[in-house]
Each structure stands twice: as C-alpha cells, then as structure tokens.
C-alpha cells in the first residue's frame, strides 16, 4: 500500500477510542483502509465459515483480495453503534439475505451472547426505522437472555451444589429478585441444559452442568 501512495495514519485508537486496527492507511485523496488481523475491533473473528463464504475479487501479485459475503458484512455492521451502518444494513437486507447464515455465524462466535444481544437490538432498530422484519430476532434475544442468566447463576454456584433456598437467598441479596423469578429462571436454565437438578432426601439439589471439555 505504501508503494501505491498510502501512508500509515498515526492512530489505531484505544483507551475507549475503540477501533484498535493493526494499521490505518490513507492516501492524499482521503481514501482510507482500516486493517485488522483476524479479529475486527476486538469483536468478531474471521471464522473458517466466513472465509469459505468470501469470494475472490482479484489477485495482485502475491496478494489475493477476497470480498466477504453480504451476510457476513451485515453481521459485522450489526454489532456496531454507528447509525450509518444501519442504512447499510437496510440496503443489504433489501437486496436479499440468508438469515440462517447470519444467525448461525453469530451463535458460533466467541461471546455469542453479547453479539446476539447487540445484533438483535440493531434488528429491532432496523424494523422500527425501515420496516424490515428479520425472522431471527427472537432467537438472538433468547440466546442473549440465556447467556445473561448463566453468568448470573455461575457466580452463585461457584463449582458447588446448592439448594433452592440457598440460591433464592443469593439472588435476593445480589439482584433483589423474588423467589418466583428465581424458580422461573431455574426452569429456563434446566431446559437449556445449563443447570441440572436431582432429589436428595427431601430437597432438590441444583448444580451447574460441566461444559464440554472441562
């Protein structure tokens, strides 16, 4: 890029200036490239599936330039807070998207609960502003809720088993939620196979299920 007239701009940001690009290159016309290495803005990573969906645009000597699929571009724009990206999402959606690809990629990324919440929220904004209805909003928000519940209960169990009384007391002290809310949350987590329950004597004993590989 330097041979083509681009120079490295002195600001890849951070300390809440976000971005954190490997390099930002710009030429004298103002054309700019933000360069990331495998992970964009400390968020989504270029997974094997994302790479497989990208198409070869052109080869420049030893450099092969691939363009990401519309679905993956939509996903990357769907976890930002920039309003301009919402208009790009509208254009992509109106051109036609495979929603299942977007949902599957979001769900398989690290910190998928966080990205599910951010994308689900953006899709609700897109619906409100442009009338574009996505069929994956409910699934994304359910995943976000499950991750949030899991996080809240993990700290209470601390690798041990607990009675309902112990759990409800901890929930009440930390979050001020009622016993009714705790019972409902436990049912959701049991159904999602995050928590298991068994009877010991007269009490039901709850424990977090071990994650695969742990």
pLDDT tens digit sequence for 93-143:
999 999 999 999 999 988 888 889 989 999 999 999 999 999 999 999 988
Domain boundaries, the chain: 1-37, 158-214
Q: Which two tokens stand for residue 112?
A: 């998928």
Tens digits of residue pLDDT in 49-84:
999 999 999 998 998 999 999 999 999 999 887 788
Would you say the pTM of this structure is higher than 0.75?
Answer: no
DSSP strand E in 37-135: where?
55-60, 63-67
Cα–Cα distance measured from residue 17 to residue 130, given in angstroms and rounded to the nearest whole number: 30
Cα–Cα distance measured from residue 138 to residue 156, given in angstroms and rounded to the nearest whole number: 28
Tokens 């996505």 label which residue?
A: 134
Q: Was domain 158-214 assigned CATH 1.10.10.10?
A: yes
Mean pLDDT of the chain: 87
pLDDT at 23: 84
């Amino acid at each position: 890029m330097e041979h083509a007239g681009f120079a490295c701009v002195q600001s890849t940001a951070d300390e809440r200036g976000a971005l954190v690009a490997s390099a930002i290159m710009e030429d004298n016309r103002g054309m700019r490239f933000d360069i990331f290495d495998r992970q964009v803005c400390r968020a989504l990573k270029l997974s094997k599936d994302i790479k497989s969906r990208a198409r070869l645009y052109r080869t420049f000597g030893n450099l092969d330039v691939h363009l990401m699929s519309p679905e993956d571009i939509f996903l990357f724009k769907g976890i930002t807070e920039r309003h301009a990206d919402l208009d790009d999402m509208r254009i992509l959606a109106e051109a036609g998207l495979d929603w299942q690809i977007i949902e599957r990629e979001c769900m398989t990324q690290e910190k998928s609960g966080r990205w599910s919440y951010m994308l689900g929220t953006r899709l609700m904004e897109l619906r409100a502003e442009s009338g574009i209805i996505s069929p994956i909003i409910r699934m994304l928000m359910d995943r976000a809720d499950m991750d949030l519940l899991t996080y809240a209960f993990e700290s209470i169990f601390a690798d041990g088993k607990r009675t309902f009384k112990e759990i409800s007391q901890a929930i009440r002290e930390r979050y001020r939620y009622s016993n009714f809310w705790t019972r409902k949350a436990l049912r959701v987590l049991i159904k999602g196979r995050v928590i298991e329950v068994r009877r010991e004597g007269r009490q039901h004993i709850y424990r977090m299920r071990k994650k695969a590989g742990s």
